[in-house]
Structure 1
Amino acid sequence: MATRTTTKKAELKTSTAKPATEKEAPAKKTVTKKITEKAATVKKTAVRKTSSRKTVSLNTEVYVQWLGKEVYERDIIENIKKVWTEEMGKKESELVDLKIYIKPEDNGAHYVINGDITGFIDL
């Protein structure tokens, strides 16, 4: 008896497998078409986003306050530029890199210009 039931099950499986493959072929074409349409939509959206980007500038102000005294960052930079142009006789365009180390305990600021010229100004 076991042989007969096994044979019937095998026949049922083969008869149902053929229609399933025939139905899958048209579905694959539709999926490919949808993916292509989505890719085209994504490309259009990406182009729109990059063309509408604007750069935002940040307005910053730095103050140093110590023992009732207040010094503004821009004033320190202007004083260093004066030293660079008037005392050293250089052009302002030659000042490429400026590092400032504010030391309230010394009541001044140390600076390094273009990586090799150092100095100190009073606050």
Structure 2
Amino acid sequence: MKKYSKAKTTKPVVKTEAVKPETVKAETVKVETVKPEVKAEVKAEAKPEVKTDVKAEVKAEVEKVAEKTAEKAAEVKATVKKTAAKATKAAKTTTKAVKAAKKEPVKPEIIVQFQNNEVDTAQVEERVKAQFVAEGHQAGRIKKLNIYIKPEEYSAYYVINDKFSGRVDLF
């Protein structure tokens, strides 16, 4: 058996200081805030340079394209004007051709002769219209005109618009 001594053994007392959690937290917060600031600064510095370079290049390209489209638009306008002018000239020539093709039929000159007297039917028509106007009517209202020539009576009878009738001298 072993003998035990009665002397008390004392344990060494170690004073432990409590670490303040606040200081640790403050340090971690500082570390966390430092990292985003650095990233933000790097991003802020890098992006504006790239954007301005890219924007300048894009603006230059857009201006070139705009100039080219403006030039092409001017060319197209000139072409349109030329073709429009040609089309109007062609339309005028076809109109002239159509007018030439739509010649009025030949209006014959009719002359009535009776016992050494003669009269042109156009003169008789003029006399009939003049007499109609002298009666107070308008010449533009004549839609239909029938003239009957009787040389033995030396007169011409007329009917206008199937309503008005009258007589004029032939010679």
Classify the TM-score, shorter chain: 0.5 to 0.7
- Does 2:165 align with 1:118? yes
Residue in 2 that maps onto 1:72: 120
Deviation at 1:105, TM superposition (A): 0.8
Structure 2 counterpart of 1:95: 142
TM-score normalised by the chain length of structure 1: 0.54
Secondary structure of 2:101's match? Answer: coil
More strand, by proportion: 1
Report the residue type matching 2:112 in the other structure.
V
| Partner deviation per Cα, 1:23-81 (whole Å, 9 max, x = no partner) | xxxxxxxxxxxxxxxxxxxxxxxxxxxx8681222131110011110001111011111
Rounded Cα–Cα distance in structure 2 between residues aligned with 1:118 and 1:84: 9
Match in the other structure for 1:84: 132
- Amino acid paired to 2:110: V
Bigger radius of gyration, 1 or 2? 2
Q: Which has the higher contact order (CA 8 A, sep 6+)?
A: 1
CA distance in 2, matches of 1:118, 1:89: 14
Aligned counterpart, 1:17: none
Runs of 4+ in 1 over 3 A off after TM superposition: none
- Give the paired residue count: 72
Return the alpha-carbon distance in structure 1 between the equivalents of residues 125 and 101 of structure 2. 29
In structure 1, runs of 5+ residues without a counterpart are 1-50
Stretches of structure 2 lacking an aligned partner (at least 5 in a row): 1-96
- Give the distance between the partners of 1:61 and 1:117, measured in 2 at CA: 26
RMSD: 1.6
Partner of 2:153: 106
TM-score, with structure 2 as normaliser: 0.39
